[in-house]
Homo-oligomer: A and B are copies of this chain.
Amino acid sequence: MLNSYKTEDKVLLAVDCIIFGFDKDDLKILLIKRDFEPEKGKWSLIGGFLKRSENLNEAATRILNHLTGFHDIYMEQLYAFSEVDRDPVERTISVAYYALINVENHTEELNQDYDAKWFSVDNAPKLIFDHDQMVRRAIKRLRYRTATKPIGFELLPEKFTMRQLQKLYEAILDKKLDKRNFISKINSLDVLVKLEEKDMMSSRKGSYLYKFDQEKYEEKSSQNFSLNL
């Protein structure tokens, strides 16, 4: 019965990455112009194939790093897409991952060898294959995660203002929030540190900068908070 394995069909296993970024008021995704057939010249998610020597998380990290130069990125497995004809060339199952990156820190290191570009999520071009479906599912997951873990912070620079954080949540959830209620909810999580420093860019008065307190978060994250916004 050992050789029952031998008679089974093998498939190609792809990994596609939905890379979210945040810039001012907009939630964005990073897309790449495909430079090979099929669908050459069309916009697509960043992707590649799983190698024999690595697991899926490693593949996702490698692919992301290779095509963008980014490293140390928050990533999470999303879903396996498996329609029989999803890739016209060959039977390929794709496991989608999504990543959160902070655009400011990483824009300079974007690998110029590839034709990658940021698009606003609600202004993105049509994508190849089932990539649009992947993006929709990723946004849904991101909304859910937002209420469960403070991953929103992954999309911001190390120091940020309350207003930026609020804009980010508004972009993810696609609704307006009240600033007083927002601030008190965020404060009640007790995972931010208010700095002395102010950001003078956005207004004459200047607004306090905050940073995320990794330690406090880890203390609490065991009991899985929920943030109702």
Contact residues of A with B, CB < 8 Å?
1-2, 4-5, 8-13, 35-38, 40, 49-57, 77, 79-80, 82-84, 89-93, 95
- Determine if A80 and B56 form an interchain contact, defined as CB atoms under 8 angstroms apart: yes
Who on chain B is nearest to A56 by CB? B82
Q: Could you say which residues of chain B place their CB within 8 Å of the CB of A92?
A: 5
Q: A40's closest neighbor in chain B, by CB?
A: B1
A128 to B134, CA, bound (A): 32
Q: In the complex, are the beta carbons of A36 and B2 less than 8 A apart?
A: yes
CB nearest to A52 among chain B residues: B9
CB–CB A9/B49 < 8 A: yes
Is B36's CB under 8 angstroms from A4's CB?
A: yes
State the CA gap A5–B90 with chains docked (Å): 8
Kindly list chain B residues whose C-beta atoms are within 8 Å of the C-beta of A53: 84
Residues of B within 8 A of A82 (CB): 50, 55-57, 95
